Amino acid sequence: MKYIVILTLILIFASSLFAVSDKQNNLNITYLDKLDLKLIESIDLILAFNKTAANMKGYIEGAEDFSEYLMGLTMEISTLRKMIQQSQDFDYQQREITIRNFMEELQPEKIIAIDEIDEDLDKQNTKYLEQRLIKLNQQLNSYRAEIMKEEESISETQKISQKYLGIHNRHFVYQLLYCFTQDYPILSKTNRQFLKDLIITIDMNIYKQKL
């Protein structure tokens, strides 16, 4: 009887783990579906920028190269969307790792995923991402304002500046970070930690570039 009780407890425990994994798997599917829609919006935004670049061709130096740069960004996002489509056939673990693979596309340096995240640390990560999401939106608005201001300068100099390209590059990076972060509540604890570490690493990298 004792062994039967122990075996029953083991089965119940294993079933509860499976239930959690199954729940997170469904959340990951939802996260990827939502991410795909956000990536489509990002492509539309880049195409709008590219329309501006098209209007510059013929009289603004560097306009054609800038247009090619924007199309390159579009291709990068299209690659991410293809990865999402492929993830439909993945199992729970593969899908969990795939989400980090998306984020790794932006990492300026190697980030190690942490598997053991306790409740206190996860609460800290959740609070950080909640606050950082607001700041990300503010940063994007600021970058777009800078882009418009720099376009006024370009119309005078008749030349695409490195500053203009730099602003667009930072805007692209933070645009993708914004896409990754919007649905942080449904990420796993490990992926929330990874996302937080990624944002901090990118912030530090861009800060150093400005020095």
Measure the N-to-C terminal CA separation of the chain; round to a whole number of Å: 71
Report the C-alpha gap between 26 and 30 in whole angstroms. 6
3 confidence band (pLDDT: 50, 70, 90): very low
The reported pLDDT for the residue numbered 210 is 63
Strongest mean pLDDT among 12-16, 38-42, 207-211: 38-42
Share of the chain above pLDDT 90, in %: 65
Span 24-68, pLDDT tens digits: 999 999 999 999 999 999 999 999 988 888 888 778 898 888 999
Model confidence at 11: pLDDT above 70: no
**pTM over 0.75, yes/no:** yes
Nearest to 188 by CA among 20, 11, 2: 20
What is the average pLDDT score of the chain? 87
- What is the domain partition of the chain in residue ranges? 2-210
User: How many Cβ atoms sit within 10 Å of the Cβ of residue 78?
Assistant: 13
Percentage of the chain lying above the pLDDT 70 cut = 89
**Exposed/middle/buried for 89, CB within 10 Å: 0-12, 13-18, 19+?**
exposed
At 105 the pLDDT is 86
Range name among 65-74, 132-141, 178-187 with the lowest pLDDT average: 65-74
Least confident of 18-32, 71-85, 154-168, 194-208: 18-32
